[in-house]
Amino acid sequence: MRTVDPYKVEARRQQILGAALTCFAQNGFHATRTAQICAAAGMSPGNLFHYFPSKAAIIAAIAEEDCKAMTRLFSQWDTAENVLDAVEHIALAMMQASSDPQQARISIEVAAEASRNPQMRALFAANDAQVKADLAALLRRGMAAGQIDPHLDPAMAAVWLVALTEGAIARVVLEADFQARAHQPMLRLIIRRFLCPPQPESG
Amino acid sequence: MRTVDPYKVEARRQQILGAALTCFAQNGFHATRTAQICAAAGMSPGNLFHYFPSKAAIIAAIAEEDCKAMTRLFSQWDTAENVLDAVEHIALAMMQASSDPQQARISIEVAAEASRNPQMRALFAANDAQVKADLAALLRRGMAAGQIDPHLDPAMAAVWLVALTEGAIARVVLEADFQARAHQPMLRLIIRRFLCPPQPESG
């Protein structure tokens, strides 16, 4: 006899994480109390505790979900023939995600908390390192295929691709009318010009 | 008879702002109490109140100092003949400033607070708008001089130059060994390739 339905468990977990993200975006990690997350999720503290024993466990699960989402994004482009297209699409998807107002606030909270809490930093730094490693691997493949400038340092180039997409975060906060979609052509142009092999000198 | 020495007043103001920045970087705007700033500045509350009537007044003064620093930076390059050089130097200086660990933490606090507090947002959004306007003006001058690709939208290009330099902020938090200086050549390359007029097709 099955006593636990794994789909129901996962649905409940997602319900709690969604409620927690709303609370964190509104009040920050620090100021959010577990009771607020319970209220937002429509759940008793005992019930929530069954899924996540602490606020730290919720934050760890959020980092894990982030990591899974990035893995899914990269896996879509794993075997793409045109690596430049792949990098461009991944970067645009990252910029689009960063510029979601709730996501932007969460990113700022993550940065604020990570700058003070070594455990938080380790959690999100591991995700960041994975994204950079995946990007660098893509860049190396593009270099081997002659699609990306082979003189670039792939690890450093990956750092600045991430930095560029994260640039959207402050934009969302400081520009009332910031629309990620309107900026996609410019971001695409920057990435193309940055990564393309230089044209041979005209003669 | 002079009763107030303006140099002494300014020195005292700077002393308080320095102490406040240290406290804000450590504990955030929200959690920092005026008493802590007094202690860090070695000043009585009454004395501090004489210079700044509230924590909000201190934050406003920090925004004003930021604005002045940026105006000084741009004025150094006002009449530069090579606009591409000017933009590059300004962007590198901004990235270098963003990657100072204390400055990075303050920037994150500004973003966190601005996302919840409309007055804070207005204060720092005004600075941000000024920097973008100054950059866009430089870009237009470079376009007129044939040094910068005239097909770029100067306002949008300015947005991404700012976003790029702000990318250093998250790097400082997430990468234990991030050294802005080591990344300068890559940032310079991205800016050059982004802004230079495209080479004519080789033939």
Q: How far is A43 from chain B (nearest CA, A)?
A: 27
Q: Is there a single domain that holds both residue A74 and residue A101? A: yes
Q: Is there a single domain that holds both residue B65 and residue B8? A: no
- Look at chain B and report how many structural domains it folds into: 2
Average pLDDT estimate for A81-85: 96
Q: Is there a single domain that holds both residue B28 and residue B79? A: no
Average pLDDT score over chain B: 92
Residue B84 has a pLDDT of 96
Average pLDDT score over chain A: 92
pLDDT level of residue B4 (50, 70, 90 thresholds)? confident
Last residue of a domain, one of A36, A53, A70: A53
Q: Is there a single domain that holds both residue B101 and residue B152? A: yes
Q: Is there a single domain that holds both residue B26 and residue B64? A: no
Of B77, B102, B108, B100, the closest CA to residue B181 belongs to B100
Q: How far is B13 from chain A (nearest CA, A)?
A: 27
Task: With beta carbons under 8 A apart, name residues in chain B contacting A124.
Answer: 174
Q: Is there a single domain that holds both residue B98 and residue B161? A: yes
Q: Is the predicted pLDDT of residue B1 greater than 60, yes or no?
A: no
Q: How far is B93 from chain A (nearest CA, A)?
A: 16
Residue type, B18: G
Q: Do A108 and B108 touch (CB under 8 A)?
A: yes
Q: Is the predicted pLDDT of residue A30 greater than 90, yes or no?
A: no
Q: Do B109 and A112 touch (CB under 8 A)?
A: yes
Average pLDDT estimate for B166-187: 91
Top residue of A117, A128, A174 to mutate, by most chain B CBs within 10 Å, is A174
Last residue of a domain, one of A19, A37, A53: A53
> Is residue A200, in this structure, part of any structural domain at all?
no
> Is residue B203, in this structure, part of any structural domain at all?
no
Q: Is the predicted pLDDT of residue A121 greater than 90, yes or no?
A: yes
Last residue of a domain, one of A15, A32, A53: A53
Q: Is there a single domain that holds both residue B126 and residue B77? A: yes
Interface check A190 vs B, CB under 8 A: yes
And the tokens for B98?
């963003």
Q: Is there a single domain that holds both residue B145 and residue B101? A: yes
Distance CA A47, CA B2 (A): 70
Please report the residues numbered 45 through 84 in chain A whose beta carbons come closer than 8 angstroms to any beta carbon of chain B: none
Q: Is there a single domain that holds both residue A144 and residue A99? A: yes
Interface check B114 vs A, CB under 8 A: yes
Q: What percent of chain A has pLDDT over 90?
A: 82
Please tell me which of the candidates B108, B193, B202 has its beta carbon nearest to residue A193.
B193
**CATH number of the domain enclosing B164:** 1.10.357.10
Q: Do A115 and B104 touch (CB under 8 A)?
A: yes
Distance CA A48, CA B16 (A): 45
Separation in Å, CA B181 to CA A107, A159, B87: 25, 14, 17
Q: Is there a single domain that holds both residue A7 and residue A67? A: no
Q: Is the predicted pLDDT of residue B176 greater than 90, yes or no?
A: no
Of A2, A14, A4, A187, the closest CA to residue A96 belongs to A187
pLDDT level of residue B22 (50, 70, 90 thresholds)? very high
Interface check B3 vs A, CB under 8 A: no
Instruction: Give per-residue pLDDT as tens, B23-74.
Output: 999 988 888 999 999 999 999 999 999 999 999 999 999 999 999 999 999 9
Average pLDDT estimate for B115-140: 94
Please tell me which of the candidates B152, B163, B174 has its beta carbon nearest to residue A167.
B163
Going by the DSSP 8-state scheme, the letter that residue A198 receives in this structure is: P
Q: Are B83 and B148 in contact (CB under 8 A)?
A: yes
> Is residue B200, in this structure, part of any structural domain at all?
no
> Is residue B49, in this structure, part of any structural domain at all?
yes
Task: With beta carbons under 8 A apart, name residues in chain B contacting A190.
Answer: 160, 190, 194
Q: Is there a single domain that holds both residue B83 and residue B35? A: no
- Return the axis-axis angle of helices A34-41 and A6-31, rounded to nearest 10°: 140
Q: How many CB pairs under 8 A join A and B?
A: 128
Residue B198 has a pLDDT of 86
> Is residue B149, in this structure, part of any structural domain at all?
yes
Please report the residues numbered 13 through 32 in chain A whose beta carbons come closer than 8 angstroms to any beta carbon of chain B: 28, 30-31
Average pLDDT estimate for B107-132: 93
The domain in which residue A16 lies consists of 1-53
> Is residue B115, in this structure, part of any structural domain at all?
yes
Model pTM? 0.92
Residue ranges of alpha helices (H) inside chain A are: 6-31, 34-41, 45-51, 55-75, 83-98, 101-114, 118-144, 154-174, 180-195
DSSP states of B126-178 as a string?
HHHHHHHHHHHHHHHHHHHTTSS-TTS-HHHHHHHHHHHHHHHHHHHHH-TT-
Q: Is there a single domain that holds both residue A136 and residue A186? A: yes
Task: With beta carbons under 8 A apart, name residues in chain B contacting A31.
Answer: 30
Top residue of B84, B99, B108 to mutate, by most chain A CBs within 10 Å, is B108
Task: With beta carbons under 8 A apart, name residues in chain A contacting B199.
Answer: 199, 201-202
**CATH number of the domain enclosing B30:** 1.10.10.60
pLDDT level of residue B167 (50, 70, 90 thresholds)? confident
Q: Is the predicted pLDDT of residue B203 greater than 60, yes or no?
A: no
Average pLDDT estimate for B110-121: 90
Q: Pick the residue with more confidence: B115 or A137? A: A137
> Is residue B29, in this structure, part of any structural domain at all?
yes
Q: Do B190 and A160 touch (CB under 8 A)?
A: yes
Q: Is the predicted pLDDT of residue B146 greater than 90, yes or no?
A: yes
* ipTM of the prediction: 0.90
> Is residue A202, in this structure, part of any structural domain at all?
no
Distance CA A139, CA B64 (A): 42
Q: Are B143 and B84 in contact (CB under 8 A)?
A: no
